[in-house]
Amino acid sequence: MAAAGRIAGRASMRVVPRRRPAISYSGRMRFALLNSGLGLLAAAAELHRLQPEADLVIAMDPDGMPWGPRSPEDIIQRSLLLARAAAEHDPDVIVLACNTGTVHALSALRAEFEPGIPVVGTVPAIKPAAAAARSVAIWATVATTASEYQRRLIEEFGGRATVTPVACPGLADAIDAGDREATSAAIADAAGRTPRGCGAIVLGCTEYELAADQISAAVPGAVLFGSAAAVAAQAVRRAVQAGLTAGPPGPAVSGTLRVLLSGRPASLPATAVLYPQGRELAGLRTGEIPARRLADTGAGSSPCP
């Protein structure tokens, strides 16, 4: 599972910039990212910044979203549907860029795709937040807030900090819909239930990173901790560990973007470009990703099945 990290952002947002590890890579990578909605945009944008030449396949599930109210069995099946469709594009790494999906489906995806395709999950950045502040709030969906999974993470990584779970009903849905008014209302509600003097807020849902500006403004003085940067760095590390290091560096060519909606080829949703991360990705070349060339890995065959 990916290590927790901090979200990168402007100093005016009171967001801690995460130091990205130096990673040397001479080939061309391809990453598939999964989420029911737009929450994968933050990790996808971080991957593009780390590896501008990498191909990205982003797989969302408009037919099945939101995943939060679904049973664990349904979430596993929806995650597998997206992963199998994305695997047709021969990714080097699959990234489950969803906290809810990671809770319920990470083991199932790893059982099906590893070791051929490494699978990276997403966990909330409780440990670094607890190390940075005495009072920490974890903003997450209602289902995640009530889960044994989050309670275990707090016990394991909360340290000496006072950690307060804050459920955020409707926030992820509003962000996915691009409804700024509903997003603001959900953020104001969560901010009103966040302890006074809270020094750190853990963004326990990947969608929330898209609204970091608004969250930061609603809880002045708190530092936001997210997972996108750490997830992206871990995905690159897993690709390197899979052997994508041989061969001379290729020409500087920007990567491509492929979008799948519930398994179907599609265009980037219009709501995606309402967010900086979506606009960044919208500038990538679109269309079919070409078949993997042998020179990409420097080996006789692709590392994926």
**CA–CA separation, 78 and 73 (whole Å):** 9
Q: Which listed residue (98, 168, 198, 304) is catalytic?
A: 98
DSSP 135-200: EEEEEE-HHHHT-HHHHHHHHHH-TTSEEEEEE-TTHHHHHHHT-HHHHHHHHHHHHHTSPTT--E
93-96/119-120 β-pairing = parallel
Q: Which of 48, 53, 41, 97 is nearest to 276 (CA)?
A: 41
Is 98 noted as a catalytic residue in this protein? yes
| 93 touches 55 (CB < 8 A) | no
**CA–CA separation, 305 and 133 (whole Å):** 45
**CA–CA separation, 230 and 304 (whole Å):** 23
**CA–CA separation, 257 and 203 (whole Å):** 26
Tokens of residue 31, six digits = 């990453």
Is 198 noted as a catalytic residue in this protein? no
C-alpha Rg value of the chain to the nearest Å:
18
**Bridge partners of 138?**
165, 202
**CA–CA separation, 92 and 116 (whole Å):** 9
Q: Is the peptide bond before 115 cis (omega within 30 degrees of 0)?
A: yes
In the chain, DSSP assigns E strands to: 30-34, 55-60, 93-96, 119-120, 135-140, 162-167, 200-203, 223-225, 256-261, 264-266, 285-286
Tokens of residue 92, six digits = 């080097």
Q: Which listed residue (168, 198, 205, 304) is catalytic?
A: 205
> Which residues are tagged catalytic?
98, 205
